[in-house]
Amino acid sequence: MFFVTCFNIVGLIFNVAVTTAHPNILLIIVDDLRTTLGCYGDANAYTPNIDALAEDGIVFTEAFAQQALCAPSRNSFLTSRRPDTLRLYDFYSYWRDAVGNYTTLPEHLKNNGYTTMSIGKVFHPGISSNRSDDSPYSWTEKPFHPYTDRYKNAPICRMVPQSKAATNLLQLTQKYTSDVSHLQICPVRVSAMPNKTLPDLETLREARRFINKHKKNVNPFFLAVGFQKPHIPLKYPDHYLKYHPIRKFKMPERYKWPDNVNNVAYNPWTDLRWRKDVAKLKLKFPWERIPVFPVPIAYAFHCISSFIVPWQLSLFSEKFAKQIIQSYYAAVSYIDNMIGKLIHQLHVSMIRENTIVILTSDHGWALGEHAVWSKYSNFDVAVHVPLIISIPTYIQRRHNKFMRSNALHSKKHCRVTDAIVELVDIFPTIADLAGVPIPICQVINNTNDHLKNILIQNKVPNPCSEGITLLPLIKSTLQCQSIPWKKAAFSQYPRPEIQPMLHPNSDKPRLKEINIMGYTLKTSDYRYTAWIPFAHTTCKPDWDVIIAEELYDHKTDRAEDFNIAALPEMLKTKKYLRVLLKNGWRNALPRY
């Protein structure tokens, strides 16, 4: 449920002396965060601070990542280029070396007078960001990474009992496991952690220090803060479990792989399988679900010795699946607390009214839908992300001088939009809101011939972006009006083969292993996905061959449990969506 409040009265009478020509910008990126938030209508969520930010901002209920994998998604929205442009679908190439010297969002702001800083996980560390977080191009100061990152798999997990059955399962798993490192579920006591802290706590401390240091700077700042949780392992302070008793969680209604969906769409959640608490369940790869498994002899022996009767065995495994869900929600509540303290620091430093705050994620995460966990797919739970933009009142009035200030936030629906938006839109939107020109590129060779002719003949600027500014949408939303917007959001995911595999890994194939690409689009009513042959040497799809198709009617099936692509009555709709998908994102843009 959304709660609506007026802007803080300080926003109307703030001291003009502290307002720079360009606002500060705080970009908060939460790793693997799906829309499990109170402000997105999730009754199981406990996220009071993010919900408060939503009350003070614009909530985009239909925002989508371009690929459900960390490095490709982050490089995509930080450059506003799509995976096919960057040719990055894995972790093993750096766009400046591989395809082109594309400007990033922080680099563009830095070149226009901003002090830019990265704290925590912003770019994905490693080869995909040149092992430097794209320094020195993107950042004024050296990026900060928590010292305790090195302990993220440290063997210190506090197993918190939920019930007799849950206690038995946790003790059993712990007993059967040689140590408790590399666990999926890992609530902890912070005082027992190395350095008595956790990586996200270090990130928060450094971000607050940066804000305090730069609160009086003449130049505005762009601060990107990346929180790691709820990325696995689900290591978080154990007291957040109190908000999430296990009894309130249920497994998805259809906890099974749909009968009429091709196996190529399945991701076998390999990143969970090697975690020791999951591995000891001895699940048969790739299809066996966590709640249903043949009990190994060693488990049976421990059950007998622990006075656990046979009928409880399936209960234990289902409890374990629910504990993954429970710990995911608890980790989100942990990060919510961090975000609340970060926003509070803006208030304490007296710069909240001159700071744009954007909160989003790199992609979603499946919690048992389709009997699948993690990301690595084109399903809605993997690509649907939260996006909240909180804009100071004076900036809203500057962009729309005819808007009555007392009507800015008078109605609930004037704070929320269900228009289709994409993470590649973040770059041009922030540039637009900050009053920094969106960079314009020359018409280059990789622009298709038809588009190139239109741009040249009509002298139309070619923005260095594959997204669009959301400012017109924001303005119309605040005025309780609607405008034509994108027809669809576009995402994709690669596969090595049709059948799920460990080697090469179906979840994370390297570029040289990719032979199939799944392209998907989301419209207001449907999700359509086509799996087609893909040449990894040229990064070109073969649209003449369709390996498999999926079509979901989101009006009645947002969970995407029923693939209706083969229904005769859906043939016309499917053909339309196939053409829209093949023609690509440029043909789905709004016409002004």
Active site residue 70: yes
Q: What kind and span of H or E run contains 449? A: helix 449-458
Q: Taking a C-beta distance cutoff of 8 angstroms, is the pair 146, 120 a contact?
A: yes
**What's 124's DSSP letter?**
P
Q: Taking a C-beta distance cutoff of 8 angstroms, is the pair 123, 78 a contact?
A: yes
How far does CA 182 lie from the centroid of its chain?
23
Distance CA 293, CA 284 (A): 8
Give SS3 for 427.
helix
As beta bridge partners, residue 361 has 30
Q: Among residues 22, 39, 108, 124, which one is catalytic? A: 124
Active site residue 124: yes
Give SS3 for 494.
strand
Distance CA 70, CA 361 (A): 10
What separation in angstroms does the CA of 186 have from each of 153, 178, 374?
9, 16, 16
Per-residue burial over 446-459, b = 16 or more CB atoms within 10 Å of its CB, e = otherwise: ebeeeeeeeeeeee
Q: Among residues 22, 39, 70, 384, which one is catalytic? A: 70
List the beta strands (DSSP E) in 370-505. 373-374, 384-385, 387-390, 416-417, 421-422, 440-441, 462-463, 489-495
Distance CA 28, CA 228 (A): 11
Distance CA 573, CA 455 (A): 31
Q: What kind and span of H or E run contains 208? A: helix 199-214
Specify the residue for token string 């209508």. 41
Q: Which two tokens stand for residue 167?
A: 């206690």
Catalytic residues: 70, 124
